[in-house]
Amino acid sequence: MSMIDMSKFEKKMIIRHIEEKDFDAIINMQKLCFPDMEPWEREHLESHLDIFPEGQFCVEYDGEIIGSCSSLIINFDEYDDQHTWDEITDNGYITNHDYEGYNLYGIEVMVHPEYRRMKIGRRLYEARKDLARELNLKSIIIGGRIPNYFKHAKEMTPRQYVEEVTMHNIYDPVLTFQVMNGFTLKRINQNYLEDDKASLRYATLMEWNNIDYRPTMPKRQFKTSFPVRITTIQYAMKKISSFEDFAVQCEHYTDVAASYNSDFAVFPEIFTLQLLSFLPEKSPSLAIRRLTEFTEDYIELFTNLALKYNVNIIGGSHFVEEEGKIYNIAFLFRRDGTIEKQYKLHITPNERKFWGISGGDNVNVFDTDCGKIAIQICYDIEFPELARIAVNKGANIIFTPFCTDDRQGYLRVRYCSQARAIENQVYTVLSGTVGNLTDVENMDIQYAQSGIFSPSDFTFARDGIVGECNPNIETVVVGDVDLEILRRHRRAGSVNQLRDRRHDIYEINYKQD
């Protein structure tokens, strides 16, 4: 008798995180599971992966997606008892996800109709429980539908119905399942999900408590404030004789920032053009090629300064040659010695004409020991889409190194920076160059008034100005921005530009990963 090929009988089922390739299958499955309700849009799922990919699970069975669930982390104490699904999820985009929260909030579970009674939902719930244990979250909370309630609404109230289901006198496909999976009832919410007609818009607020939760972990301590101190440097472009002169000037300002216990020191855009004041090349395009030869010296200098002075440095920006092209790149030098970079995306006509600069392609958001930050170089801050993308990715501070030659150019950068702070409920920081470089073509005059800006509301500084330099002098400004105040403002400000966006009529389609 020949050996049996057992492989032909095998079925492969895996629980994994959702990927972009799964979006179409998930949307189609949702239409089958909830035919009378509005399904996810791709931008919802994209936002979930951008903000909290760890909380998005799917079940794959022989290459087919047959189940999925979505969730976010919140501090549940900050939400009203009678909250709605839209309030908890920011209309499905989960931009209110809080990594420092205590509770995992489940916003959807679905199983393909053809694969029910295979414990798919239970597997997804177990994945959530494992995640809650891994992240040391206090509990999992869900707003559960009661889709059979419409059959009993004439005879009993929602509470009576829930009690009957809990006592197993009535079967409800959602509530019965949740009770069997260890969730207990907290309360019943009205008008929870607008298009849930079967539940008559009622929902059961259910909770599963993580018995392994450890409340003494440092990351779970409640913050009354989360101050971040920033020193932004209004840098003088004056003639120097060597790279060592440049290094002395940079170290002086890093030392100043460190002496004020700053978390960030911020230098201006293309301030390394000061190096051209001792190079003999007069042609702008050839001079820039010469300047790129200092890239390794520049990176080594600021890496050492960040480590030596224990301060994160936004190293202005520097022209870098890569594969024959010149890019304007801003570097983040973390105080732990690691380095990141952000390419300038929008190149000004002046940069293109004199120096032949090429633009980058990605909007990056960087993790730091003071939360997530973004860098948008000069002209980039004048394009509102970039700031919105960065904030959607979690940025709390947007740093803008800039270089402008006259007041009109400066005001374009400043007004746009302050507008981005208001539109996105985010802090913004400007650092510019002043002085004159009489021997450097296209860098002969400078105009700047560097500053630190906030949203405009009662909880922030008057006029939305945390601090600003006097115009056109070599100096610094030091200011504290409070990320806890920012978080609360996004939750309950006088207005809420992030939450009140009309996703139903407009969107930003970011084409890069």
Q: What is the distance between the alpha carbons of residues 129 and 59, in angstroms, rounded to a whole number?
A: 15
Residue 38 DSSP label: P
- In the β-sheet with 366-368, what is the strand arrangement from edge to edge? 366-368, 371-375, 397-401, 427-431, 451-453, 465-468
CB contact set of 97 (below 8 Å; sequence gap of 6+): 51, 52, 72, 73, 74
- Give me the helix-helix angle, 295-309 and 243-259, nearest 10°: 30
Q: What is the distance between the alpha carbons of residues 434 and 101, in angstroms, rounded to a whole number?
A: 43
Asked whether the beta carbons of 432 and 473 are under 8 A apart, the reply is no
Count other C-beta atoms under 10 Å from residue 290's C-beta: 14
Q: What is the distance between the alpha carbons of residues 243 and 337, in angstroms, rounded to a whole number?
A: 22
Q: What is the distance between the alpha carbons of residues 474 and 254, in angstroms, rounded to a whole number?
A: 14
Residue 135 DSSP label: T
Residue 160 Cα to chain centre, angstroms: 43
The residues carrying an active-site annotation are: 269, 344, 378
DSSP string, 313-374: EEEEEEEEEETTEEEEEEEEE-TTS-EEEEE--SPPHHHHHHH-EEP------EEEBTEEEE
Give the residue carrying structure tokens 């419409």: 150
Q: What is the distance between the alpha carbons of residues 399 and 422, in angstroms, rounded to a whole number?
A: 15
Q: What is the distance between the alpha carbons of residues 109 and 183, in angstroms, rounded to a whole number?
A: 15
Collapsing DSSP to helix, strand or coil, 48 comes out as: helix
Asked whether the beta carbons of 282 and 441 are under 8 A apart, the reply is yes
Instruction: Write down the number of H helices and E strands in the chain.
Output: 13, 21
Q: What is the distance between the alpha carbons of residues 398 and 390, in angstroms, rounded to a whole number?
A: 8
Q: What is the distance between the alpha carbons of residues 344 and 357, in angstroms, rounded to a whole number?
A: 10
Q: What is the distance between the alpha carbons of residues 182 and 96, in angstroms, rounded to a whole number?
A: 27
Q: What is the distance between the alpha carbons of residues 371 and 263, in angstroms, rounded to a whole number?
A: 11
CB contact set of 216 (below 8 Å; sequence gap of 6+): none
